[in-house]
């Protein structure tokens, strides 16, 4: 292709791109868009964050505590303490502190956390037992008698106020019911079948018990009159919110954020115990320093000769030794006849000739029993020792 053709193609492509860009510019319409990134880390860590912001907007001073250690520093008058966290680890001493704080003028709001046990006469909630209220399941209650005016919202809890025509509606969990066996409550709020909030006077202060606090979490606080009810219960006071009294242990945090590292550490510790705890072979006992005795050497040498040379060679060696000794004591012994030799041996050793003939006669080439062989050796040794 010539240079002119390449130039024409380039101009055509440029014009085409310019026309496409103009078309897209005329057709494209900008519009705003919101991208939801979900709740912030602060909101995820604090489910009552929206409730705190709402109360601050109503002009209340709101603080957040993580334990009851802050209680001695709180002025009870014109102050509300909201116990929304688990209280199963509360001690009797802490319960006394809370009750004394309320008696001095404080306002305490807490959630009933356990059901009343008729058999034991108590529940696992010590603070609920202290205010002498009982919690039960709504399904165990008898159905109320039919009413001429049917309740349009039986699942909602209604709070009636003086000089108000309509009640306030709150979305308490209707699965639980509060009972006041000693008629101590001054006010309460009911759903169609059960009671979910009670207020009691206590000294200069007051105590409010509810069946749950989920209606004040995000986003349930925005429903019905939930936010208004929280403001009504804490109006004209400073508010301290306590909901996470139980702190995660170090092991819980490690399992949550570093499970792989924890497993690797456990495996490494196990391998270390295995390496240092298992022997790779039997322990060698140190060799004894003492040498073997002469008797052991002689016995070993005799056993070796017996295995190597046989019984006859050993007996013949003893017989030759006896002949050498008798020749030294009786010159010319080898020139005597056999009978005369045995007589000489009998005279020198004091043994009868019959025994000498049995000991010095040639042995047939056959293996003797261990007892016979031992007897022959002993007889020959006695003859040799007598010379």
pLDDT digits 0-9 by tens, 160-205: 888 778 889 999 999 999 999 999 999 989 998 899 999 999 999 9
Nearest to 156 by CA among 124, 191, 201, 184: 191
Please give the order of strands across the beta sheet that includes 107-111: 62-65, 238-242, 79-83, 107-111, 205-210, 195-202, 187-190, 157-159, 168-170
Of the ranges 144-158, 226-240, 321-335, 371-385, the best mean pLDDT one: 226-240
pTM value surpassing 0.85: no
User: Looking at the predicted structure, is the pLDDT value of residue 69 above 80?
Assistant: yes
Of the ranges 3-17, 94-108, 309-323, 333-347, the best mean pLDDT one: 94-108
Answer with the residue of higher pLDDT: 149 or 54: 54
pLDDT the model gives residue 286: 66
| DSSP assigned state of 122 | B
User: Looking at the predicted structure, is the pLDDT value of residue 223 above 50?
Assistant: yes
At 125-139, the pLDDT tens digits run 899 999 999 999 998
Q: What is the mean pLDDT of the chain?
A: 81
User: Looking at the predicted structure, is the pLDDT value of residue 338 above 90?
Assistant: no
At 97-126, the pLDDT tens digits run 999 999 999 999 999 999 998 888 888 889
- The torsion angles phi and psi of 107, rounded to 5 degrees, stand at -115, 120
Q: What is the DSSP string of 74-119?
A: S--TTEEEEE-S--TT--HHHHHHHHHHHHTT-EEEEE--S--BTT
Q: Is 55 helix (H, G, I), strand (E, B) or coil?
A: helix
- The torsion angles phi and psi of 53, rounded to 5 degrees, stand at -65, -40
Cross-strand bridge partners of residue 169: 158
Mean pLDDT value of segment 270-291: 68
pLDDT the model gives residue 244: 65
Cross-strand bridge partners of residue 170: 157
Nearest to 321 by CA among 253, 256, 241, 382: 382
β-strands 238-242, 62-65: how paired? Answer: parallel
* Distance from the Cα of residue 197 to its chain's centroid: 41
pLDDT the model gives residue 304: 61
User: Looking at the predicted structure, is the pLDDT value of residue 249 above 70?
Assistant: no
Residue 252 burial (C-beta neighbours within 10 Å; 0-12, 13-18, 19+): exposed
pLDDT the model gives residue 198: 94
pLDDT the model gives residue 245: 45
User: Looking at the predicted structure, is the pLDDT value of residue 293 above 50?
Assistant: yes
* Distance from the Cα of residue 203 to its chain's centroid: 47
User: Looking at the predicted structure, is the pLDDT value of residue 247 above 70?
Assistant: no
User: Looking at the predicted structure, is the pLDDT value of residue 246 above 60?
Assistant: no
Categorize the per-residue pLDDT at 290 as very low, low, confident or very high, splitting at 50, 70 and 90: low
Distance between CA atoms of 248 and 255, rounded to whole angstroms? Answer: 11
Mean pLDDT value of segment 42-63: 87
Nearest to 84 by CA among 316, 313, 241: 241
Handedness of CA 32, 37, 38, 41 (dihedral sign): negative
Answer with the residue of higher pLDDT: 232 or 4: 232
Mean pLDDT value of segment 376-386: 75
pLDDT the model gives residue 6: 75
The DSSP H or E segment spanning 18 is helix 3-27
By the 8 A CB rule, do 173 and 193 touch? no
* Distance from the Cα of residue 210 to its chain's centroid: 36
């Amino acid at each position: 292709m010539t240079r002119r053709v390449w130039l024409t193609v380039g101009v055509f492509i440029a014009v085409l791109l310019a026309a496409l860009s103009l078309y897209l510019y005329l057709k494209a319409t900008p519009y705003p868009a919101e991208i939801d990134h979900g709740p912030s880390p602060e909101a995820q860590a604090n489910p009552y964050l929206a409730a705190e912001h709402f109360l601050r907007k109503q002009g209340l001073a709101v603080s957040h505590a993580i334990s009851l250690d802050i209680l001695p520093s709180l002025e009870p008058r014109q102050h509300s303490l909201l116990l929304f966290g688990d209280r199963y680890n509360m001690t009797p001493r802490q319960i006394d502190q809370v009750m004394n704080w309320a008696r001095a003028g404080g306002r305490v709001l807490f959630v009933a956390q356990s059901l009343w046990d008729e058999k034991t006469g108590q529940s696992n909630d010590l603070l609920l037992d202290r205010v002498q209220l009982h919690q039960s399941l709504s399904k165990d209650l008898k159905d109320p008698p039919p009413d001429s005016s049917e309740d349009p919202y039986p699942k909602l809890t209604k709070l009636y106020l003086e000089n108000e025509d309509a009640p306030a509606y709150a979305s308490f969990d209707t699965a639980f019911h509060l009972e006041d066996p000693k008629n101590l409550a001054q006010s309460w709020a009911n759903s169609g079948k059960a009671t979910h909030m009670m207020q009691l006077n206590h000294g200069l202060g007051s105590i409010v018990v509810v069946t749950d606090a989920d209606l004040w979490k995000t986003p349930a606080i925005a429903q019905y009159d939930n936010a208004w009810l929280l403001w009504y219960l804490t109006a004209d006071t400073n508010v301290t919110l306590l909901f996470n009294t139980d702190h995660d242990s170090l092991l819980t945090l490690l399992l949550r954020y570093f499970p792989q590292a924890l497993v690797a550490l456990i495996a490494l510790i196990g391998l270390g115990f295995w390496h240092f705890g298992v022997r790779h072979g039997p322990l060698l006992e140190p060799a004894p320093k003492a040498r073997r005795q002469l008797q052991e050497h002689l016995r070993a040498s005799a056993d070796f000769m017996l295995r190597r040379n046989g019984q006859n060679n050993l007996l013949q060696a003893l017989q030759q030794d006896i002949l050498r000794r008798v020749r030294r004591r009786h010159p010319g012994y080898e020139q005597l006849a056999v009978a005369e030799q045995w007589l000489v041996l009998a005279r020198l050793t004091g043994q009868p000739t019959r025994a000498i003939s049995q000991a010095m006669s040639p042995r047939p080439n056959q293996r003797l029993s261990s007892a016979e062989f031992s007897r022959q050796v002993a007889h020959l040794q006695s003859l040799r020792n007598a010379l």
